[in-house]
Copies of this chain bind each other. A is one copy, B any other.
Amino acid sequence: MLFLTRRFSFSASHRLHSDAIGAAENACAYGICENIHGHNYRLEVTVAGEPDPKTGFFCNVMELHRVVDELVVKPSDHHHLNDVPLYAGAITTMEGLSQRIWAAIEPALYAQRMRLTEVLLAETDEHWVRLRKD
């Protein structure tokens, strides 16, 4: 099985806050992350497939780039994620963001005959989440 991964990045601000819990629980769950702050996010998108024998590519990497850039990177880069429609109603943890990213790009990639298998989202080089579908 062949996988292709492409890395993206965007600089954005966010704050962690949940409407489902009270002020004290918010303070307890998020600590200083309730303050508005920001990251250089790293996003790695992996698709699986078979190379086309005529071109040696198994997917058009430019299409992969275009889909993720338009649906995720441009709306997120240099914005405040809590205000971005893509993440409306979500808690802007890496978990919450990556689920919205998956939902946004999977059908668009599928329409270009690319099967999404992993979304990795990192706030820093010290921790990250991966959503995977084997």
Q: Which of B5, B37, B58, B130 contacts A13 (CB 8 A)?
A: B37
B16 touches A13 (CB 8 A): no
Main SS of chain A's interface residues? mixed
Do the beta carbons of A1 and B133 come within 8 Å of each other? yes
With A6-B127, A13-B13, A129-B3 as known contacts, state yes or no: A55 contacts B37, CB within 8 Å: no
A37 and B128 form a contact (CB under 8 A): no
Known contacts A33-B78, A77-B32, A90 near B2 by CB under 8 Å: no
Interface residues on A, range: 35 or more
Total copies of the chain: 6
**Residues of B close to A11: CB separation below 8 A:** 37-39, 123-124
Give residues of chain A (75-107) contacting chain B, Cβ–Cβ below 8 Å.
Answer: 77-80, 90-96, 98-99
- How far in angstroms is the closest Cβ of chain B from A13? 4
B6 touching A51 by the CB < 8 A rule? no
Interface residues of A (CB under 8 A from B): 1-7, 9, 11-14, 16, 18, 20-21, 29-30, 32-33, 35-40, 51, 53-58, 61, 77-80, 90-96, 98-99, 123-134
